[in-house]
Amino acid sequence: MSQVVELKRSPELPGDFAMWCFILAELLVFAMILCSLAWARSQWPDMFAAGSAGLDRLAGLTNTLVLLSGSYAAARGIAGGTGRSVSVGFALAAGSGLLYAVVKCAEYVHMYGAGLTLRTDTFHFFYFFGTAFHLMHVLLGMVMLLVVALRARREARLDDQRRRSADAVAAYWHMVDLVWLILFPQLYLFS
């Protein structure tokens, strides 16, 4: 009688523990912003409806699609398993971050030109503070993506250390995407 022994590998952490501590801390900060925004909206519904109506919804939708595509490129790069795939995927993801930043800055310039600032009202305080804080995370993510893309480009196959670095940076990038998915409807879609 043969005995079949099934060996189950315990699930591995994608990336490293330190990066996940950082990501979870960042998520807590964003939770405060997102929940404060929701609470403020419940207190001043008319102000927030008027503020949302004044935003460029097409720009918000475009940026959502751009970030989702960047996340997809980063995930595909890792799934490829080679230095080249990571390098190309991460470079494309960083490019999506650049496009996101350009669209967001164009929105800021347009709104500033219309006399809207952080001090206009509570809605615009949350709009400028929340999106600028998020934009800073996009910019930091782009730098990390480019560093890993440059280091990985000459490697045929990723070693464990490079793989962990790529996983950690990709997880950070997806976190930026995840936060935007909740911030976007609150600012642009709720009326």
Among 39, 113, 115, 119, binds another protein (CB under 8 A): 39
Q: Does 191 bind another protein (CB under 8 A)?
A: yes
Other Cβ atoms less than 10 A from the Cβ of 11: the count is 6
Q: Does 177 bind another protein (CB under 8 A)?
A: yes
- N- to C-terminal Cα separation, the chain: 68
For the residues of 7-55, what is the DSSP string, one character each? Answer: --PPPPPSS-HHHHHHHHHHHHHHHHHHHHHHHHHHHSHHHHHHHHHTS
Among 16, 22, 38, 121, binds another protein (CB under 8 A): 38
Nearer to another protein, 75 or 147 (CB): 75
Q: Does 20 bind another protein (CB under 8 A)?
A: yes
Report d(CA 54, CA 188) in Å as an integer. 9
Nearer to another protein, 112 or 190 (CB): 190
Q: Which stretch binds another protein (CB under 8 A): 98-106, 131-139, 141-149, 172-180?
A: 172-180
Report the candidate in 165, 118, 164, 125 with the shortest Cα–Cα distance to residue 144: 165
Q: Which residues contact 48 (CB under 8 A, 6 or more apart)?
A: 40, 41, 122, 123, 190
Q: Which stretch binds another protein (CB under 8 A): 23-31, 96-104, 116-124, 129-137?
A: 23-31
Please check whether residue 133 is in contact with residue 85, taking contact to mean a CB–CB distance below 8 angstroms: no
Where does residue 168 rank: exposed (0-12), middle (13-18), buried (19+ CB within 10 A)?
Answer: buried
Nearer to another protein, 57 or 110 (CB): 57
**Residue numbers 58-117 binding another protein by CB under 8 A:** 61, 64-65, 68-69, 71-72, 74-76, 79-80
Q: Which residues bind another protein (CB under 8 A)?
A: 10-14, 20, 24, 27-28, 31, 34-35, 38-39, 41-42, 57, 61, 64-65, 68-69, 71-72, 74-76, 79-80, 167, 170-171, 174-175, 177-178, 181-182, 184-186, 188-191
